[in-house]
Structure formats: C-alpha cells, structure tokens
Amino acid sequence: MVPLVLVSFALGQPPAPSIKLPSEVTGQPGRILQLKAEATGPHVRWFLASDDADLVPFPDGKVALFSSPKAGKYTVLAWTAAGDVPSDAAKCVVTIAGPPAPPPAPSPFLRDLQKLYADDATTDKAGPLAQLAALYHEAVTFVVKADVATTSDLAARIRAAGSTLLAADALVGVRKRIAEEVAKELSTDGDKPLDAATRAKAAKLFEQIATHLEELK
C-alpha cells in the first residue's frame, strides 16, 4: 500500500480558490445591474457596505443584482472558498451616474443679441446675419496681421470689411450691441499698441461673437 502522505505528495496541493468580478460597472439611478462572478469555488459570498443600494445574490451565488436610487460610487466585494480555504476578495466599483447636467444658461450678451435679432423687422435678415458672422470669423485673422498695430487699426479693418459685406442699415441693433461688447472687453484707447495678450483676447472675443451670431434664430 502506498502511504497516504506519498499520495498527497504525488497529487500535489490543490490550487488556491479564486474569484473574479468586473472591475467597473456603470448604470443609472433605479435601474438593475447584473454582477457576475467567475469563481473556482462552488459558492460565492457578497458584501456591500452601503445603506443607499441593494445587492441581491442569486441562489447559486454566482450572480447578484445591484440597484441604487442615488448617484454615486459603490464598492461590491465577493469571496469564494475551497474547503476551508477562502479566496482573496474580488472588488467591483459600481458607478451610478446622475442625470445629465442641464445646458449652461445663455450669457447676457447672447440673450441681448437674440432679442435684438428677433425684434429686427427686416424681412430678409438671415442673409445679413450670416455675413455678419462671417465678418467676425474673418476678424480673427486681422488680429495677427503685422500692419494692425493698434486697436484703431483693428477697428478700421473690421469696418472696411463690413462695408463690403453689409448694407449700412442691416441689423443695426445687433451691430450696435456688438460694438458695445467690443468696447467693454478691449481697450477704448485707439492708439494703444496691440500686445500679445490683447491680440489673444480680441481673437477669442471675435470668435465668440461669430459663434453667438450663428446661434441666433
């Protein structure tokens, strides 16, 4: 007879029990998520340390249902065992996302432009609006030109380009409000040289104006 100790030695030690969970799962408040464990042991035990969520294992323990009415991050742990040897814990982070953030409120400047455009009684104003937006897209390129050295130079270049694109009486209210915004954001000293910071600020402002004009309805 072969001694039992030799049989045990020949067969080797049984592999350590192991368990695996998905590392991350995402869901929406109130919806049910299915968490599935891959375990070498016949049974799985689950743990959730939160009063704001529910975790309900299936009878065999290999699957559990998770649900929470509240947005947040929740940690789920699970173990298995082989005989009296437990596995290391597996962890799954469940992220319950909140409702999408509401869109930002329009800026006062955009609201003013929208009202002035809506109040304009011109029957065919979509064309001039598109031309005005194109003008301020083009104005971004004026900012970097070497011969545009002062704010007066910049204003003159925009006026010259505008006179070729728009009639003098087109969208007067909108154009006046834009002029006020430009005067507020940029220096009113026409002879002040355009430094790098001012040029960058002007380019950003003109691009914003063009974008706002394209948003008007």
Cα–Cα distance between 50 and 27 in angstroms, integer? 17
> Domain boundaries in the chain?
15-96, 108-215
What kind of architecture, by CATH, is found in domain 15-96? Sandwich (2.60)
**What is the model's pLDDT at position 205?**
96
**What is the model's pLDDT at position 26?**
96
Report strand pairing: 24-27 vs 90-96. Answer: parallel
- Amino acid letter at 214? E
**What is the model's pLDDT at position 11?**
52
Q: What is the CA radius of gyration of the chain?
A: 34
Task: Report the DSSP beta bridge partners of residue 193.
Answer: 150
Q: What is the DSSP letter of 188?
A: S
pLDDT digits (tens, 9 = 90+) for 184-213: 998 778 888 899 899 999 999 999 999 999
**What is the model's pLDDT at position 106?**
85
- Which stretches in the chain have pLDDT values below 70? 1-14
**What is the model's pLDDT at position 1?**
45
Non-local (6+) Cβ contacts of 109 within 8 A are: 177, 181, 212
